Amino acid sequence: MSVATNHMHAGAAAAASASSFDPAAVRRDFPIFDTVREKPLRYLDSAATSQKPQAVLDAMDHYYRSYNANIHRGVYQIAEEATAAFENARKRVASFLNAASPREIIFTRNSTEAINLVAHAWGRTFLKDGDAIVLTPMEHHSNLVPWHILAAEKNVELRFIPLTSDGRLEVDALPGLLADGRVKLVSFVHVSNVLGTVNPATEITRIAHTAGAVVLLDASQSAAHMRVDVRAIGADFVACTAHKMLGPTGIGMLYGRRELLEAMPPFLGGGEMIREVSLTSSKWNELPWKFEAGTMAIAEAVGLGAAIDYLDTLSMDAVFAHDQALSAYTLEQLATVPGLRVLGPSAEYRGGVVAFTLEGVHPHDVATVLDRDGICVRAGHHCAMPLHEHMGLPASARASFHCYSLQEEVDALVHGLHAARKLFAR
């Protein structure tokens, strides 16, 4: 049935069949860059959200135009087509992350909700007074605040893996943090959305497991850019968000190891997550539907499936190599701007994220000056206030890349930064 299989865009196939990765060819698959506007769009904010290829837009449009119906309910044809497309997206996610089964993939709204699901359903059930959780100072607020709420309720201690001076994790300190046997969870970010650091997820998971701790990996910035194999890494929970993966907003994913998900109570109650309901009690549905209450984001799941097909066509290894090369080039070029401080480690340890400050110019002013040339960068704390406090900064500016980002966009950024410096030096 054609609607249940995700579309592959001809442009992506052309880009992928080229002998080397060609970001200019990839970019032609993203209609936003063709839109006529006063100034060219130089989009350097893919860590906030990615742009969407034609294939994703087509798949969602096709769903709404051709087989829009609620899922898991209807016996008529388009309801069955919609259900098949939704469940096919789950299978695509499972194979993309190399999960053992699609039953281990729970659809959520985003990675924030995926982490909250674990904090509520696993944390409230299995953590007790006196337990401890290990986090890192480079977490996004979405991997801090759910644990703050839980820690206050349960009297759970929060511990942090220290940072090196160049913004990497001091993994050697982890065994010491785990030594008293009180740590039940180690939850950490795979790729920092500020420092760009790629953390050694497999090593951290291995160390955490030797102490009997459960591991949650925040893959919001990694699954979109590099190969994330949940079984090779060994993490028990992995949170991802589709809108950073060339997919739509409104859908995210939690991978959870089956035994853990089976042992957890539901997160939200309502339709679909039940097997049987009486006036006074309910029995839960089986995995993964136990955790999917109410009508799900069906068009978004279809769009996510198309995004994964598109990424697979490009190859995640090629996407990551492109991000890394662009970051290395950016670091080299930024070194020519007087008063510019790059946050985070050298190119070999980072993905496609480069945050920086410019002496004497507030990051918001930097972003405003760059916008005059159509350059989109993020300014602020990037939902990582504790990390900025640790670095003694109120805010930073950030450039971040994806498969469609071009070297000439970095050149425009560097040119704009020289101009900003001159403007504010007056």
Ligand X SMILES: Cc1ncc(COP(=O)(O)O)c(C=O)c1O
Q: Which of 199, 241, 400, 405 binds ligand X (CB under 6 A)?
A: 241
Identify which of 145, 111, 149 has the alpha carbon closest to the alpha carbon of residue 238: 111
Tell me: does residue 88 bind ligand X (CB under 6 A): no
Q: Which residues contact 7 (CB under 8 A, 6 or more apart)?
A: 55, 58, 59, 62, 306, 309
Report if residue 189 touches ligand X, rule: CB under 6 A: yes
Q: In the numeric block, which tokens belong to residue 342?
A: 């790059």
Give me the least distance between CB of 113 and ligand X, in Å please.
7
The tokens for 377 are: 């960068």
Do the beta carbons of residue 369 and residue 416 sit within 8 Å?
Answer: yes
CA distance 32 to 339: 34
Q: Which is nearer to ligand X, 78 or 383 (CB)?
A: 383
**Residue 110, interface with ligand X (CB under 6 A)?**
yes
Is residue 140 part of the contact set for ligand X (CB under 6 A)? yes
| 197 touches ligand X (CB under 6 A) | no
Nearest Cα to 347, choosing from 412, 415, 410?
410
111 lines the binding site for ligand X (CB under 6 A): yes
Is 376 in the active site? no
Of 93 and 337, which has the nearer Cβ to ligand X? 93
> Among residues 146 and 416, whose Cβ is nearest to ligand X?
146
- CA dist 52 and 299 (Å) reads 14
In terms of C-beta distances under 8 Å and separation of at least 24 residues, what long-range contacts does 362-366 make, across chains too?
362/395, 363/395, 363/396, 363/397, 364/395, 365/420, 365/424, 366/397, 366/417, 366/420
Strand order in the sheet with 396-400: 340-343, 353-358, 396-400, 378-380
Considering only residues 205 to 234 of the shown chain, the ones binding ligand X according to CB under 6 A are 218, 220-221
Q: Could you say which of 6, 46, 54, 142 contacts ligand X (CB under 6 A)?
A: 142
Among the listed residues 240, 376, 383, 403, the single catalytic one is 383
The nearer residue to ligand X, 42 or 109, going by C-beta atoms, is 109
Considering the rule CB under 6 A, would residue 402 count as an interface residue with ligand X?
no
Among 50, 54, 88, 112, binds ligand X (CB under 6 A): 112
Which residues are paired to 185 by β-bridges? 133, 214
SS3 272: coil
Q: Judged by CB under 6 A, does residue 90 bind ligand X?
A: no
> Least distance from C-beta 363 to ligand X, angstroms?
17
Q: Residue 378, interface with ligand X (CB under 6 A)?
A: no
Write the single-letter amino acid at 310.
Answer: Y
Applying CB under 6 A, the span of 109-117, 172-180, 306-314, 364-372 interacting with ligand X comes to: 109-117
Based on CB atoms, which residue is closest to ligand X, 151 or 189?
Answer: 189
CB 112 within 8 A of CB 329: no
Binding mask 307-336 for ligand X (x = CB under 6 A): ------------------------------
Return the number of the residue (54 or 111) whose C-beta is nearest ligand X.
111
* Cβ 220 to ligand X shortest distance, Å: 4
Q: With CB under 6 A, what is the number of residues at the site for ligand X? A: 13
Q: Which is nearer to ligand X, 83 or 405 (CB)?
A: 405
Which pair of tokens denotes residue 414? 């560097």
User: If 0-12 CB within 10 Å is exposed, 13-18 middle and 19+ buried, where does residue 178 land?
Assistant: buried
Pick one of 54, 193, 205, 400: the residue that binds ligand X (CB under 6 A). Answer: 193
Angle at 51 between CA 29 and CA 40, to 5 degrees: 80
Task: Name which of residues 37 to 66 contact ligand X (CB under 6 A).
Answer: none
The contact set with ligand X (CB under 6 A) reads: 110-112, 140, 142, 189, 193, 218, 220-221, 241, 243, 383
As annotated, the active-site residues are 383
